[in-house]
């Protein structure tokens, strides 16, 4: 038996969430069974657990969109017992049971061998948020953004994606402008390498088609008015990598930044990214992120406290990353 968080929903009622015990036989189909060492609490997991967003597509569901662990048994040619693996996305925690449980059974094609040098707790301090931050940095690079280009604005900087993006960019030599609604996190963000702290208020006012050119590029986790204002403040031929919707799903902008300034809006999805790009992202996290910074940006939360913490997460009260040790 192992501990697991389980979301259930009767056909005619509201969902319920509990910490329970499951047998390995209950696990869904897959060719690799993993002893989960660490999972995390991501924004999407908080939506799933609280039911505030339509994340879970199948009930009952074990949430947890990512995990790191050790292979217990495998019929997949790439993995054998004892291998250290990491998983992000692929609908895990949404349509297939996820990482907030002592064991998981998944498709081996979804797993990435954990690079040497990254501990399992560090892999989850990075988690899907940090891996998405790396995908955002890679998207900026693909569009020619270089460290000497000028300041890069990172929105939601004190959150999971934003914290890791700030640490990666500063480590690579970029000048990072950390955009936050929490002035109280100034020291934290400077510690991660931000050179400037910018109030979120500067991105929530009326959106003008074009505003003063301030940023060489941006990484945005917020969407809505925040992203629209960011786009209108980006310099000629700059790029914004957009991955989130913390402020909203809409985008109240015009085509002006695109057609008059040649700005690129690069969408970043982490869930269905092809495997070679995932391997590249994880390899680069091992080399380009100062893992020593993970201690500052992550806290551990026992599995028994995940359910009660989820609403606080969505209320923006959580800083950085939440790592959940799962193994007993
Ligand atoms: P967090 O909750 O850790 O961080 C979000 C941050 O956004 C908050 O900490 C806060 O930062 C800021 N924020 C909160 N509310 C607002 C608001 N109304 N307006 C502007 N900023 C706000 O979440 P994550 O970092 O884990 O995820 C961020 C977003 O990215 C989420 O929408 C998530 O769903 C998405 N995401 C998408 C992925 C993909 O594959 N595309 C993968 C991973 C995440 P501060 O206090 O510093 O302002």
Q: Which two tokens stand for residue 278?
A: 């995932």
Percent of the chain residues topping a pLDDT of 70:
100
Instruction: Specify the DSSP element, H or E, that contains 226.
Output: helix 224-233
Mean pLDDT for the chain?
96
33 lines ligand 1 (CB under 6 A): no
270 lines ligand 1 (CB under 6 A): yes
Would you call 68 helix, strand, or coil by DSSP? strand
Q: Which two tokens stand for residue 155?
A: 């929105």
User: What Cα–Cα distance (Å) separates residue 183 from each residue in 116, 198, 200?
Assistant: 37, 9, 9
Rg, the chain, Cα only:
20
Kindly tell me the sign of the dihedral angle through the C-alpha atoms of 103, 105, 106, 112.
Answer: positive
Give residue 128 CA to ligand 1 midpoint distance, Å. Answer: 12
Among 88, 194, 244, 315, which is best to mutate for testing ligand 1, by the most ligand atoms less than 8 A from CB?
Answer: 244
Q: Taking the mean position of all CA atoms in its chain, how far away is CA 137?
A: 13
Task: State mean pLDDT over 188-198.
Answer: 97
Statement: residue 111 has pLDDT above 70: yes
Give residue 6 CA to ligand 1 midpoint distance, Å. Answer: 24
* Position in ligand 1 atom list of the atom nearest CA 321: 3
For residue 251, name the pLDDT band (cuts at 50, 70, 90): very high
Distance CA 281, CA 167 (A): 15
278 lines ligand 1 (CB under 6 A): no
Statement: residue 193 has pLDDT above 90: yes
pLDDT value of residue 328: 67
Kindly tell me the sign of the dihedral angle through the C-alpha atoms of 226, 228, 232, 238.
Answer: positive
CB 94 within 8 A of CB 79: no
């Amino acid at each position: 038996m192992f501990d697991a968080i389980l979301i259930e929903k009767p056909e005619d009622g509201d969902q319920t969430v509990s910490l329970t015990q499951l047998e390995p036989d209950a696990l869904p189909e897959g060719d690799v069974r993993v002893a989960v060492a660490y999972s995390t609490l991501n924004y999407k997991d908080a939506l799933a657990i609280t039911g505030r967003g339509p994340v879970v597509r199948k009930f009952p569901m074990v949430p947890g969109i990512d995990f790191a662990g050790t292979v217990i048994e495998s019929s997949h040619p790439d993995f054998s017992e004892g291998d250290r693996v990491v998983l992000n996305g692929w609908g895990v925690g949404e349509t297939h049971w996820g990482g907030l449980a002592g064991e998981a059974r998944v498709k081996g094609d979804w797993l990435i061998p954990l690079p040497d040098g990254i501990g399992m707790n560090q892999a989850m301090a990075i988690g899907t948020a940090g891996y998405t931050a790396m995908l955002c940095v890679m998207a900026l690079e693909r569009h020619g953004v270089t460290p000497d280009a000028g300041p890069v604005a990172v929105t939601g900087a004190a959150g999971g994606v934003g914290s890791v993006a700030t640490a990666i960019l500063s480590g690579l030599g970029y000048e990072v402008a950390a955009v936050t609604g929490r002035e109280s996190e100034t020291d934290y963000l400077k510690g991660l390498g931000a050179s400037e702290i910018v109030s979120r208020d500067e991105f929530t006012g009326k959106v003008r088609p074009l505003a003063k050119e301030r940023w060489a590029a941006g990484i945005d986790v917020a969407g809505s008015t925040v992203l629209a204002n960011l786009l209108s403040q980006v310099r000629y031929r700059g790029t914004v990598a957009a991955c989130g919707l913390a402020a909203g799903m809409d985008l109240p902008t015009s085509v002006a930044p695109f057609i008059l300034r040649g700005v690129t809006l690069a969408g970043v999805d982490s869930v269905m990214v092809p495997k070679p790009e995932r391997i590249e992202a994880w390899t680069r996290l091992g080399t380009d992120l100062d893992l020593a910074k993970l201690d500052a940006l992550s806290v551990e939360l026992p599995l028994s406290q995940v359910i009660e913490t989820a609403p606080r997460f969505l209320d923006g009260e959580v800083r950085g990353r939440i790592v959940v040790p799962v193994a007993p």
